[in-house]
Amino acid sequence: MAKSFKEIGKKAEALIEQGKEADQKVQSCQARVASSNSRVAAARRQLAAASETDEEGNPAGNVEQARAQLSMAENQLAASQRALSQARGVANRVRAQKNDHVQEIERHNRVERSNLEKLRRLKTGAFSVDSAALTEGMAQRLNEAENARAALLRSMGIEATPDHVAVGGEGNTDSEWRGGGFSQIDTRGETQSYQGGDGAGGLTSKGIRTPLGGGLGTILNRIFNGDAKDSATKDTEFQNVPSMGKTVYTDVNQLSDDLYNYTEDYVENAAKYNQPLRLHSTTPEVEHFRDLINSHQVGKDSVYIRKASLADIGSKFSALPIEELVGRCYQFEGIMSVAKYEGVESIAKADLWARGDATFEIHVPEGTQGLDLTQVGFFKQGMFDSPFCYIESVTKKEGTNSPHFVVRMLSAGDKLNRANDFDSLQKYMDSQYKMTLDASIEKLDVDTVKSAIGGVEAIIREYPDVGAFLKSGITSDSGVMSCTGSTLSFNPNYFGDDRRLHSTCKDMSRRGFWVANASTSSIGIHEAAHGVEWAIIQANPRYTTEAQRVTAWNNCTEASLIVKTACANVQNTEYGFRKTRTELVRSISAYALENDSETMAEAFADVYANGVNAKPLSKEIKRITNILMNKYKGGIGYVDIFRSTVD
């Protein structure tokens, strides 16, 4: 909840403006879809006319050209339909945010009207000197919030009139809440209601939400609330949790009552939530809290610190020497709590606190599911549901016996993290990608397969088309892992033996045959990058037949364009000056020299495994790939791919 009425109004204005922009975008996309439908219909008529034959069986027109035009029109229609779907998604999210903000204002106003009435009653007591000014200011701000509520409702096409309270007077004005009733209005296609109905104005453990500030808020809490505290988990019937998207909380009053109560209960009773999960069980309360966490996403690339025992990484790895842990992926069981990273000092403090246990420096990419309350004074922590993590490095600080882990969070909150056997993994892949796993995969090590899939999903998050093309997963003795665009193949000689695959990654990196810091996850990245190449071919309107696309795939046509352009750009920098193309490619890995397709895939693996320390050519290949994909989808002109921005 916003901490002042002014912020309530600002948020309402911002949401109304976002809604206008989203609606305009939807209308624009609808027009493009209608236009594309017309072009497809016209192209079909042209193809039908061209396909008509004379008495000798010869076509009346150029059938191949007509088919190409139809294919191009269908591609344009598909692109416009995707754009419309995305625009509608944005509009729906904005509408949901409006919905939530109106409900927050209604709850807030119930509480404030109650506070207002109590302040007016204080005119006969110790605060009589100040109460007139206080009540007048509160009434004015309350009316401003009412205006914001009504404006939000009207922006959703719902007739609403603000229910103002009288400003000034002798305190006998009726201030009972008459507005609202919003919980009964269907604004999302289904009836939504906030917990508590007409009685939701009762105070929560956060106490009176008042803009008065200072000691008065505390005094009013003590006078009118006592030490009463709502139970977070009394009810076992839970409503659907709306998606909050990328959210940054800076004040406790921004939290909904539901989120506040459950988070507070978790902080005080963490075992109540984690013990069932670590026994592979659950409760309705645990699942509701997980839903609350997973309805949020980290708003930006973030770094956190966690002090814990080696049990964090699981019994499978905790007994291994620390030098054997680098490059491993582990599944955290339960809800992971983390603190805010504040530079080297926070690491030193965590190492000191660990006293022989371990500290984890956890890097979390933007968009990862999780609840960040590190800037909220009462909590000062973040929470992630069953995160799947990759160990980048392990060191021991001088003078301590505490291992310090640098960890990258691959995913959190999704069902891949909860897939602990073949059946659950199969269900996840089927529901997420309509992808079928061959029964032979059941014999593989499920965590090792998940590590590779975690890499694949990192690519899919950036290039969703790759996920749409995946159809099956099989085992094969060819290579370590492979991707044909539609099929992922796992070699059982490696994926059935985690230690062998880990040893292979270390050895191949040491010899320079694979990228530095290669891992099971970077192998998944490499193979999914081949899927990116296939997605680029599919997006290029120049290829009008499947045969042309297959030829482009076999000839590495798109990968060659990307690598050639990236090399030329890097050669125009101080780093690349006088370096040959072979030298630049070899700097990534020896395997990158195989062909341009492998160069592109190794570049993606390098960027994933080494981040800012990846080779300049790898970074430029990834940049050019993004530009080319946008070009083929109508976003950026072809000439832009030749403009270097390499440092």
Q: What is the CA radius of gyration of the chain?
A: 29
Sequence-ordered list of residues with C-beta below 8 angstroms from that of 484, at least 6 positions apart, any chain? 530
**How do residues 257-307 score in pLDDT, each as one tens digit?**
888 888 888 888 888 888 888 887 888 889 999 999 988 888 888 899 998
| Residue 346 falls inside a structural domain | yes
| Residue 179 falls inside a structural domain | no
- CATH number, domain of 404, equals 3.90.176.10
- Which residue, of 357, 381, 413, is where some domain finishes? 413
Range 19-24 average pLDDT: 86
Q: The pTM is what?
A: 0.54
- Whether 431 and 500 share a structural domain: yes
| Residue 473 falls inside a structural domain | yes
Structural domain of residue 107, as residue ranges? 5-155
> What value, to the nearest 5°, has the Cα angle with vertex 8 and ends 2 and 10?
120
- Whether 409 and 505 share a structural domain: no
- Whether 374 and 458 share a structural domain: no
**How do residues 57-103 score in pLDDT, each as one tens digit?**
787 788 888 888 888 888 888 888 888 888 888 888 888 888 888 87
What pLDDT is attached to residue 335? 92
Range 351-360 average pLDDT: 60
**How do residues 589-613 score in pLDDT, each as one tens digit?**
999 999 999 999 999 999 988 888 8
Instruction: Record the tokens describing residue 529, joined without a space.
Output: 């990058």
pLDDT grade for 346, boundaries at 50, 70 and 90: low
- Whether 440 and 397 share a structural domain: no
pLDDT grade for 131, boundaries at 50, 70 and 90: low
DSSP state of 399: T
For the chain, the average pLDDT equals 77
- Which residue, of 155, 187, 222, is where some domain finishes? 155
- Whether 493 and 406 share a structural domain: no
What pLDDT is attached to residue 223? 36
Coil, strand, or helix at residue 349? helix
- CATH number, domain of 625, equals 3.40.390
- Which residue, of 413, 441, 476, is where some domain finishes? 413
| Residue 343 falls inside a structural domain | yes
Q: Does residue 228 surpass a pLDDT of 60?
A: no
| Residue 618 falls inside a structural domain | yes
What pLDDT is attached to residue 617? 96
DSSP 16-53: HHHHHHHHHHHHHHHHHHHHHHHHHHHHHHHHHHHH-B
| Residue 208 falls inside a structural domain | no
What pLDDT is attached to residue 118? 62
| Residue 367 falls inside a structural domain | yes
Instruction: Record the tokens describing residue 126, joined without a space.
Output: 């110790």
- Whether 283 and 385 share a structural domain: yes
Sequence-ordered list of residues with C-beta below 8 angstroms from that of 574, at least 6 positions apart, any chain? none
- Whether 409 and 428 share a structural domain: no
- Whether 24 and 136 share a structural domain: yes
Range 528-536 average pLDDT: 92
Which is it for strands 381-385 and 371-373: parallel, antiparallel or unpaired? antiparallel
**Percent residues over pLDDT 70 in the chain:** 79
> Euclidean distance between the first and final Cα of the chain, in Å?
43
**How do residues 473-504 score in pLDDT, each as one tens digit?**
899 887 888 877 678 889 998 888 777 888 88
Please count the structural domains in the chain.
3
Q: Does residue 213 surpass a pLDDT of 60?
A: no
- Whether 482 and 621 share a structural domain: yes
What pLDDT is attached to residue 471? 84
- Whether 259 and 391 share a structural domain: yes
- Whether 340 and 443 share a structural domain: no
| Residue 565 falls inside a structural domain | yes
- Whether 340 and 399 share a structural domain: yes
Contact of 252 with 205, CB cutoff 8 Å: no
Q: Does residue 2 surpass a pLDDT of 80?
A: no
